[in-house]
Structure 1
Amino acid sequence: MSKVERFEDLIAWQKARVLTQLIYQITQQGVFSKDFGLSKQMQRAAVSIMSNIAEGFERNRPGEFHQFLSIAKASCAELRSQLYVALDVNYIQQSEFNQVLNQAQEVGRIIGGLRASVDINRKE
């Protein structure tokens, strides 16, 4: 297996990018787009996920990468929580909620796996 040279090659970052696109799409529709607080906070959380993966990777230090992955995973949890708010106030339908929540959960799992791998490698 070859060494990952760029953060763009990380599956975690690629999946976070897709999630961010979904979040921007849903937050720019209908009444949701008028709730500037929630829509902007969700956009920031989604961007934070992919940005922290990228920044941590570019630090080129396993300990710092692990820390940034922890922040990315926490932003993913924040985003999932905000999705529940969007559902509860009827900004999104259950089907859309399920789709985006599943995507966010997948991103969280991938980040968690990457973080565990980085943790093992930084102790060797």
Structure 2
Amino acid sequence: MHNFEKLIFWQKSIELAKEVYLVCADLPQDEKFGLVSQIKRSVISIPSNIAEGAGRNNDREFYHFLGIANASSFELQTQLILTRELNLLRAEQVDDLISSLNEIQRMIYTFKSNLKK
């Protein structure tokens, strides 16, 4: 069992979730049950799956949940790109979020690689 709260990529994913929630307030009201809802589910899924995997019985299960967290991060990246392409958010704002997200993706990948050894 791993202490997920000490994992830097979990901490960064919590910070990203907070930032994304704040940004979602700027999105159009008519997207509340569409894109906004999906973005929020994706961003919450990242730290949630890291935590769930950390609480599992073995590293193989943790590895699996890290894969789910990483998949959610790519889903979120796609949704953020869409907000930029539709001019729903400023390009700089989206680029900053994606930069943070890419860092988390790299950290998850590295941790998974080390976990598999």
Tell me the TM-score normalized by structure 1. 0.88
Task: Give 3-state SS (helix, strand or coil) of 2:88's partner.
Answer: coil
CA RMSD of aligned residues (A): 1.3
What is the CA distance between 1:111 and its match in structure 2? 0.7
- The residue type equivalent to 1:91 in the other structure is L
Residue deviations 1:72-120, cap 9 Å, x none? 0010000000011101111111110110010111111111111111111
Of 22, 27, 30, which residue of structure 2 is paired with 1:25? 22
Q: In the alignment, which of 50, 55, 58 is matched to residue 53 of structure 1?
A: 50
Task: Kindly provide the amino acid, as one letter, of the partner of residue 114 in structure 1.
Answer: F
Q: Match of 1:106?
A: 103
Are residue 78 (structure 1) and residue 75 (structure 2) matched?
Answer: yes
Matched residue, 1:9: 6
Separation in structure 2 between the aligned mates of residue 30 and residue 84 of structure 1, nearest angstrom: 14
Is there any run of 5+ residues in structure 1 with no aligned partner, and where? none
1:41 to 38, 42, 46: 38
Aligned residues between the structures: 116
1:58 to partner: Cα distance? 0.5
Q: Distance in 2 between matches of 1:75 and 1:25?
A: 19
Which residue pairs with 1:115 in the alignment? 112
Distance 2:113 2:25 in 1: 35
Q: CA deviation at 1:60?
A: 3.4
- CA deviation digits over 1:35-85, x for unaligned, max 9? 021011011001000000000001131000000000100100000000111
- TM-score, length-scaled by structure 2: 0.93
- Percent identical: 34
- Conservation of the 8 A alpha-carbon contact between 2:56 and 2:62: yes
Q: Larger C-alpha radius of gyration, 1 or 2? A: 1
**Unaligned stretches of 5+ in structure 2?**
none
